[in-house]
Amino acid sequence: MMAFTELLDWTSLRSIIIFLVVFLLGLYWIRRPRNLPPGPLGLPFVGSMLALRNAPAHVVFTDWSKIYGDVISVRMGFKLFIVLNDIGCIKRALHNQADVFSYRILSNTAKMTGVKGSFVYENGAIWKERRRFGLGALRSFGMGKRSAECSVNDESRYLLDCFAAQEGKAFDPTDLVHNAVSNIICKICFGYRFDYTDEKFAQLLARIRKQFVFTATCLGNSIPWLIHTPLYSHAKENIRSLKKSIDEIIQEHRESYDKNDIRDIIDMHFAEVEKRENSGKDNDLFGKDNFNDETLGRGLYDFFVAGSDTSSNSLLWFLMYMALHQDIQKKVQSEIDDVIGGSRQPSSSDCPNLPYTNAAILEIQRIRPVGPLGLPRHTKDQTTLDGHTLPKHTCVLINVWAVHHDPATWTEPEKYNPSRFLSVDRKSVIHHNSLIPFGTGRRSCLGENLAKMEMFLFSVNILQQFTVTFPEGKPTPSQDGVAGLVLSPGPFELCFTRRS
pLDDT of residue 59: 96
Looking at residues 133-147, what average pLDDT do you find?
78
Q: How does pLDDT run across 10-52, given as a tens digit for each residue?
A: 666 666 666 555 555 554 544 567 899 999 988 888 888 888 8
Max CA distance (Å), the chain: 97
Q: How does pLDDT run across 74-128, given as a tens digit for each residue?
A: 998 888 999 999 999 999 999 999 999 999 887 766 667 777 888 888 898 888 8
Looking at residues 421-437, what average pLDDT do you find?
95
Question: Per-residue confidence at 287, pLDDT binned at 50, 70, 90?
Answer: low
When mean pLDDT is compared across 158-172, 185-199, 396-410, the lowest value belongs to 185-199
Give DSSP secondary structure letters for 427-445: SSBPPPTT--TT--STTS-
Question: Per-residue confidence at 180, pLDDT binned at 50, 70, 90?
Answer: very high
494: left (phi over 0), alpha (psi -120 to 50) or beta: beta
Which are the contacts of 90, defined by CB distance < 8 A and separation ≥ 6?
84, 398, 403, 436, 440
- The residues that bridge with 43 in the sheet, in sequence order, are 47
Number of H helices, E strands in the chain: 16, 10
Question: Per-residue confidence at 337, pLDDT binned at 50, 70, 90?
Answer: very high
Q: Residues 212, 309: contact at Cβ < 8 Å?
A: yes
**Whole-angstrom distance, CA of residue 383 vs CA of residue 493:** 48
- The residues that bridge with 209 in the sheet, in sequence order, are none
SS3 207: helix
SS3 422: strand
User: What is the DSSP pairing of strand 482-483 with strand 487-488?
Assistant: antiparallel
What is the crossing angle of helices 199-211 and 233-256, to 10°?
130
Q: Residues 284, 276: contact at Cβ < 8 Å?
A: yes
SS3 118: coil
Q: How does pLDDT run across 357-374, given as a tens digit for each residue?
A: 999 999 999 999 999 999
CA distances to 316, 329, 344 from 463, in Å:
13, 8, 13
User: What is the DSSP pairing of strand 395-398 with strand 377-378?
Assistant: antiparallel
Domain 57-498 has CATH 1.10.630.10: yes
Q: Domain ranges in the chain?
A: 57-498
**Whole-angstrom distance, CA of residue 76 vs CA of residue 489:** 26
Give me the long-range contacts of 119-122 (CB less than 8 A, separation at least 24).
Answer: 119/299, 119/302, 119/303, 119/446, 120/302, 120/306, 120/375
SS3 383: strand
Number of neighbouring beta carbons within 10 Å of residue 9: 10
Give exposure, 270-287, as e/b (b: 16+ Cβ within 10 Å).
Answer: bebbeebeeeeeeeebbe
The model carries a pTM of: 0.89
Question: Whose CA is closest to 155, among 125, 176, 183, 174?
Answer: 183
Q: Residues 219, 77: contact at Cβ < 8 Å?
A: yes
**Whole-angstrom distance, CA of residue 330 vs CA of residue 320:** 14
Report which of residues 499 and 243 the model is more confident about: 499
Give exposure, 354-370, as e/b (b: 16+ Cβ within 10 Å).
Answer: bbbbbbbbbbbbbbbbb
Q: Is the dihedral of CA 199, 143, 404, 81 positive or negative?
A: positive
